[in-house]
Each structure stands twice: as structure tokens, then as C-alpha cells.
């Protein structure tokens, strides 16, 4: 096992993911995790993540300094390297020459095992303002740039290594080789972990936790809740109650598709709740995206609580299962108090008075890992490879106030876009695609009449885990067909745009 200590860096979540890709299990823990808890996990190596702090700031997050004296190999990345230098007697200072983005690195491959197999000149991704100014005793500089003399450092004898750049991001082309050198060559790990191994483990754990008890889970038809529900169904069978709440913010015909999919998988206790009126009345007049998320989250809790109470009294349910996955927890800033919260709706939990025990079987998995787990459970491809759909639904794709009219327009536009992608074969080549309705109108002409109608933005991105994304270079023919159909078939739209923003700086969703 490789432990990642998280100091709030925007890329910290990618580190355990990259290690798992190498076939080695990895977990992420808060940077200030007590040493005893770290040692209890018996890690073969530790990675210190980046972070937004400066090591000399008051209250800057730091690991237990004794971690450097345990003989466990440690790799510090960006802020992690600065921490290592600072704690071991080196010095760190702010720099007027900050580095962000791609840079050319001069490497001394023979100086350390960490750079084995790399070229003398490598492209890497920097994102820092501070830098190591003076090496700790026993360390040597192993890489540099024109403005950063200590872009990497190592003390091979003590198995301590640091890099100022980010090997975990795709913008560092040979970053995976650096991590591989650390995990295999320095930590001595071996390939011992696959997603397929988890299915039996999770089912056994759920059986042990729930026993002969009963559980309730909210399902949306998305991959996460479907896989979580399938694991639970394997573990406790008909003691699982799947509740589907239609909040009126779903895609075209989605509610009926979800119910049919669950029943076809042998789920007997499926409860359908039409609560669209509750949600839409709560959203009336609200334009702020964060406020919309909170209203949807709290309304969902209220509706779910109402249904859960009914089932609890009737069926004596004691467990609440959730399809929470790792990026949900990351974007809710749970793994580190120093991280910046991106979304709020994942933080919401049911009131304690319901006295449910929470079960989250997918909480440590990324989206593609969830899909791989679903495949090992025998779920069909068309269910597993549906594009991700946000919990707040179309409410965050209708920018500004959510109304019945805007939802109806967006549903039709989105359905046309997805149909065109499927017809052209581009749906399966795309990680996520959807339409969004912008809260502005533009002048247009239809027939001989002047129109003043909404603008639809089309978005299609390629990603692995949803944490970074690039726009898909869809053929002009596909875009033309989708735009033409939307403008002609969807009443209320006279203009269609294609979004070519990357994440970062943009997010995949609009709100």
C-alpha cells in the first residue's frame, strides 16, 4: 500500500488514482494524520501532495516530523517537497519568478533512481510560487529549470525524494514513469490489486455490516447508484429497498428508463416518488448556482426523509446506503480541511433522528473504477457507460432561474444532441456530453419572422476521472447536424454554440 498525505493540493486526488493504475492499492489521508495511524496501515511508501499553503505561514499544514525517520520511502510533490526541505533543515522562500504550466526540465538521471529511464530534457507541469532555496543535509539536486535550480532533490540513502513539479497530471508526459520508479523501484511494491478483486470483498463486507438487516438506497439511474445498489442486492437481496425520487430535473424519458432498468435486474422493492412539484417550487426565482444546489439537496433530504420514515416504520430499516464516489468527497473537501470546496450538495446527510447507519461501498473509487467494478458484477455496457449525470440534474444546466419552460426546452435540445452523437458513433468516444441553456436571448430569423429566443451551448469532453477534461474535437458535420436540428425542432431556440473550454480553468458542468 502507498499512502498519500493530502495537504489540499488541487491535484492531490490524482495521486492514489495514478498509483492504483500501476496495480498497487493506495489511500489518501489528511496531511496531519497521526503517525500511529499511518504506521498501522503498514505502507510501503508515502507521497506528500501539493497544497496552496506556504511552509513558513502560521498554521501551514505539516505532517508529523517523525514520519521522515521511519525508513519508509517518501516522495514530496511541490508543497510536499518544500515541506520535506523545511522540516529537514533546508530552506524555502517565495519567488518573484513563479512557474505555472508546462516547463522544460533538465534532468540528471544518473543522480537518482527516481528518474531512471527518463531523458535529459523532459516536459513537466509546474504550479508553484515558493521553491526550495537550500538543500537539507544529505540531499542533492537532481533536476532544474532556468528559474528553479532545485526542481527535484533526493537522498537515496534515506529514501527521501522531492520534485517541484507534478508527475501525477497528464501534462507531465513521463510522470507515470516517475511514479512507477518510486512505487516499484524504490518502495519495492508489486502488482497486487485490481478492481475485479473488490467485488467479492465489498459484498462480503456489506454482508458482515448489514447481516440480516434491511437497507434503503436512493437510486438515480446513474452509474454510481446503480453499481452501489447492485452490490447491496448481491449482499442482502430483497432486504434492499431502492427509492427513486423524480425531482422533475431529469433528462427526456429518463424516469421510466430507470425503473425499467432496475426491475430488469431483479430488484423487487423499488419505490417511485414523484416529487417534481416540491423541487420546482423551491427553485422558483433562484438563480445562484450554489443556492440551487443547496435547495435541491435539502429538498431531496426532506422528500427522502419522508419516504424513509414510512419504510422505516413499516420494514424496520436501519441502514442507509449511498453511491458516493471518491471525486464526490474530494469536491466536497472532505479529505483535507485545507482543500477548497468546489461543490456543496455532496455534504448533505439525512437528519440524525432517522438513526440510520451510513454505508458507502464506493467511497474510495473513481468513476472509471466504478464502471470496471460494475463490469465485474455483470452489468450491461449500455448501463455502465451512460455519460455522467449530476445529482442536481438539469437544474445546473439551466443557467439562471429554473422554470418549466426552460427545462422543457433543454430536455428536447439535449435529447437531439445525444441522438446525433449516438447516430454518428461519437457517444461512445466521448466521456460526457450534454446541452446547457444560457439565461440570455438572441435575435434570430425563422421563416419571415424575427425571433428573440434562447441560446443552447453544447458541451462534449474527454476525461478519465472527471477531475481534468479536454473538449472533444467533434466533426463539423456532427455539430452542424445537431445545431440545425435543435434550431429547427426545439421551439424557443434560435442559436447553438459549442463549448471548447478545458478543465481547468473551466469545470465540466456550468454550475
- And the C-alpha cell for 387? 455519460
Rounded distance, CA 450 to CA 406, Å? Answer: 20
**Which pairs from 186-191 meet CB under 8 Å and 24+ separation?**
186/45, 186/73, 186/113, 186/114, 186/159, 186/161, 187/2, 187/44, 187/45, 187/73, 188/44, 189/2, 189/24, 189/44, 189/45, 190/24, 191/22, 191/23, 191/24
Q: Is-contact 119 138, C-beta < 8 A?
A: no
Is residue 187 annotated as a catalytic residue, yes or no?
no
- And the C-alpha cell for 238? 430483497
> If DSSP codes are grouped into helix, strand and coil, which group holds residue 35?
helix
Three-state SS sequence of 74-136: EEEECHHHHHHHHHCCCEEEEEEEEEEEEEEEEECHHHCHHHCCCCCEEEEEEEEEEEEEECC
Phi and psi based region of residue 253 (left: phi greater than 0; alpha: psi -120 to 50; beta: remaining): left
Q: At which residue does the C-alpha cell 472533444 appear?
A: 472
Q: Which of 166, 174, 233, 247 is catalytic?
A: 166
Q: Which of 86, 122, 168, 420 is catalytic?
A: 168
Which residues are the active-site residues? 78, 166, 168
Amino acid at each position: 500500500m502507498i499512502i498519500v498525505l493530502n495537504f489540499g493540493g488541487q491535484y492531490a486526488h490524482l495521486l492514489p488514482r495514478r498509483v492504483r493504475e500501476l496495480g498497487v492499492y493506495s489511500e489518501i489521508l489528511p496531511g496531519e494524520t497521526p503517525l500511529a495511524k499511518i504506521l498501522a496501515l503498514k505502507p510501503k511508501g508515502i507521497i506528500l501532495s501539493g497544497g496552496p499553503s506556504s511552509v513558513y505561514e502560521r498554521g501551514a499544514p505539516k505532517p508529523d516530523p517523525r514520519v521522515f525517520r521511519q525508513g519508509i520511502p517518501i516522495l514530496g510533490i511541490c508543497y510536499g517537497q518544500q515541506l520535506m526541505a523545511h522540516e529537514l533543515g533546508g530552506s524555502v522562500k517565495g519567488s518573484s519568478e513563479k512557474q505555472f504550466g508546462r516547463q522544460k526540465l533538465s534532468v540528471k538521471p544518473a543522480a537518482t533512481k527516481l528518474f531512471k529511464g527518463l531523458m535529459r530534457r523532459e516536459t513537466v507541469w509546474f504550479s508553484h510560487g515558493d521553491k526550495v532555496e537550500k538543500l537539507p543535509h544529505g540531499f542533492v539536486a537532481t533536476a532544474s529549470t532556468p528559474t528553479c535550480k532545485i526542481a527535484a532533490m533526493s537522498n537515496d540513502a534515506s529514501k527521501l525524494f522531492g520534485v517541484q513539479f507534478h508527475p501525477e497530471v497528464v501534462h507531465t508526459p513521463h510522470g507515470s514513469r516517475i511514479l512507477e520508479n518510486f512505487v516499484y523501484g524504490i518502495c519495492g511494491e508489486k502488482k497486487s490489486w485490481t478492481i475485479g478483486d473488490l467485488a467479492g470483498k465489498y459484498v462480503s463486507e456489506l454482508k458482515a455490516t448489514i447481516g440480516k438487516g434491511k437497507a434503503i438506497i436512493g437510486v438515480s439511474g446513474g452509474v454510481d447508484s446503480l453499481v452501489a445498489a447492485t452490490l447491496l442486492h448481491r449482499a442482502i437481496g430483497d432486504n434492499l429497498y431502492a427509492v427513486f425520487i423524480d425531482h422533475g430535473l431529469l433528462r427526456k424519458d429518463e424516469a421510466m428508463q430507470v425503473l425499467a432498468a432496475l426491475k430488469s435486474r431483479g430488484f423487487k422493492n423499488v419505490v417511485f416518488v414523484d416529487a417534481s412539484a416540491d423541487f420546482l417550487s423551491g427553485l422558483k426565482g433562484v438563480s445562484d448556482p450554489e443556492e440551487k444546489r443547496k435547495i435541491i439537496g435539502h429538498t431531496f433530504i426532506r422528500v427522502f426523509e419522508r419516504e424513509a420514515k414510512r419504510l422505516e416504520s413499516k420494514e424496520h430499516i436501519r441502514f442507509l446506503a449511498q453511491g458516493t464516489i471518491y471525486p464526490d468527497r474530494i469536491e466536497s473537501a472532505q479529505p483535507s480541511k485545507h482543500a477548497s470546496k468546489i461543490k456543496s450538495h455532496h455534504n448533505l446527510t439525512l437528519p440524525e433522528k432517522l438513526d440510520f447507519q451510513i454505508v458507502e461501498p464506493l467511497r474510495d473509487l473513481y468513476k472509471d473504477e466504478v464502471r470496471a467494478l460494475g463490469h465485474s458484477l455483470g452489468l450491461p455496457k449500455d448501463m455502465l457507460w451512460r455519460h455522467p449525470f449530476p445529482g442536481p440534474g438539469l437544474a445546473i444546466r439551466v443557467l439562471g432561474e429554473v422554470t418549466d419552460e426552460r427545462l422543457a426546452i433543454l430536455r428536447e435540445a439535449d435529447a437531439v444532441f445525444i441522438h446525433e452523437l449516438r447516430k454518428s458513433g461519437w457517444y461512445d468516444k466521448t466521456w460526457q456530453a450534454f446541452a446547457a441553456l444560457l439565461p440570455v436571448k438572441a435575435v434570430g430569423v425563422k421563416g419571415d419572422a424575427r425571433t428573440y429566443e434562447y441560446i443552447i451551448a453544447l458541451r462534449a469532453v474527454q476525461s478519465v476521472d472527471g477531475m481534468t477534461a479536454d473538449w472533444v474535437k467533434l466533426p463539423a458535420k456532427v455539430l452542424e447536424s445537431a445545431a440545425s436540428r435543435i434550431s429547427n425542432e426545439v421551439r424557443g431556440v434560435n442559436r447553438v454554440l459549442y463549448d471548447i473550454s478545458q478543465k481547468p480553468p473551466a469545470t465540466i458542468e456550468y454550475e
